[in-house]
Amino acid sequence: MIQRDLQPTLLRWAGVYPVVTLTGPRQSGKTTLCKAAFPDKPYVSLEPLDTRTFALEDPRGFLGQYPAGVILDEVQHAPALLGYIQDMVDRDPSPGRFVLTGSQHLGLSDAVSQSLAGRTSILHLLPPSLGELRRFPSAPSDLVSTLFMGAYPRIHDQGISPERWLGDYVATYVQRDVRQVLKVGDLLSFNTFLRLCAGSTGQELNLSRLGADAGISQPTAKAWLSVLESSFLCFRLGPWHTNLRKRIVKAPKLYFYDSGLVCHLLGIRNAQQLETHPLRGAVFETWAVSEAMKMHLHQGLEVSAFHYREVSGLEVDLVLQEPERTRLIEFKSGRTIDASWIKPLQTAKENLSVGSAGQVFEPILVYGGDQQQVRNGVRICPWDHLEALGPVFGL
């Protein structure tokens, strides 16, 4: 298995806090990372029912087996344990005693914030970034294959067909997590909703339309989307707010964390099909935005990311804000640079610079080709050289 970029950060905070908490989607590599980072620490999964029952019925006895600490996997199944862990680390706050992992972000984060506030560092592990994928011997080298295969580690580590593995992943996710969290009775409607969300990736979110198309109410659509987000399948990218007089569209955009999962949900069954698919551009944008998220989160950094759109139609796919510099980034899957791609970035920079003294706006175009250049003040970056963007992606 490859070394993950998050490992040094995980070890660093385990040297400071008595508890570190690692969240992320199922099968993103959390267990493998924790075992690699802490090879001498006992490991216990709370997935098996007998282990979970022991932990719930006799938490003191369960934790008493590990006085020096333990890796507790899928701890969201036994949130009551956190209160007992709090008591243990208050009596002995030695750094790195407990390593907790979980796959349901919102519920786990709520429990952690209530019981372990000030005692734990919370980190997030997503499927590997492009730089991490390259550590696999059989990593894809072209753009379309990279988008189609996605980044879940087992696909690349074990050479499993993306179509087969992602199909099993969706079926397992629907059967287990959704039933557990939402008590969904109509799995067909939820599957329809999930696929409609995939078809809306890279677009402004309209819950009323999504609900109507799936045959469910808007409140139900909102609840179901919250579960997809809490399970790290997708996320919302909020709008950029400025002091400009022009009214900015306030709707967030919807993205998935994994382009391979999007392709599977869209019915794309091979890389050649994606090559000419009408949503290829949206899939590429989804992949690129998720790369930005990964390259921040896998270093333990917060992401200050937005999208920008004016009523006039002018828009920028991704805005990354830093204290004195803001990156305006547009994503195009085409392999040949078109002058029309550059003009919106120039205009957005001009508009946003008005009344923003002291703030530098840097326009960047990431595209599906292989030429790196600067044209009319816009930095142009090939899809496979994202690391050249430096602090844009948290490097």
Please give the Cα distance from 327 to 338 (Å, whole number): 20
Exposure of 23 in the CB half-sphere (CA atoms within 13 A): 20
Assign residue 258 a region (left: φ > 0; alpha: ψ between -120 and 50; beta: otherwise).
beta
Exposure of 6 in the CB half-sphere (CA atoms within 13 A): 32
Q: Which of 27-41, 76-90, 105-119, 289-303 has the highest mean pLDDT?
A: 27-41
Tell me the two tokens of residue 390.
């430096």
CA distances from 24 to 233, 257, 367, 383 (A): 9, 11, 28, 25
pLDDT in tens, 216-257: 999 999 999 998 998 899 999 999 876 444 445 678 999 999
CA 165, chain centre distance (Å): 19
Q: What are phi and psi of 103, to 5 degrees?
A: -110, 0
Q: DSSP character for 349?
A: H
pLDDT in tens, 366-380: 999 999 999 999 999
pLDDT in tens, 287-331: 999 999 999 999 998 888 999 998 888 999 999 988 878 999 999
* Contact indicator for 337, 375 with CB cutoff of 8 Å: yes
Q: Which domains does the chain have, with CATH numbers?
A: 7-124 (3.40.50.300), 130-235+253-279 (no CATH)
Q: Does the pTM exceed 0.75?
A: yes
CA distances from 168 to 128, 139, 151, 179, 259 (A): 19, 21, 15, 16, 16
CA distances from 184 to 103, 181, 220, 256 (A): 19, 8, 10, 21
pLDDT in tens, 247-272: 456 789 999 999 999 999 999 999 99
Exposure of 202 in the CB half-sphere (CA atoms within 13 A): 21
Q: What are phi and psi of 256, to 5 degrees?
A: -100, 155
Burial of 195 (0-12, 13-18, 19+ CB in 10 A): middle
* Contact indicator for 16, 140 with CB cutoff of 8 Å: no
Tell whether the model's pLDDT for residue 164 goes beyond 50: yes
Q: Residue 156 — very low, low, confident or very high, per pLDDT cuts 50/70/90?
A: very high
Single-letter code of the amino acid located at 119: R
Burial of 310 (0-12, 13-18, 19+ CB in 10 A): middle
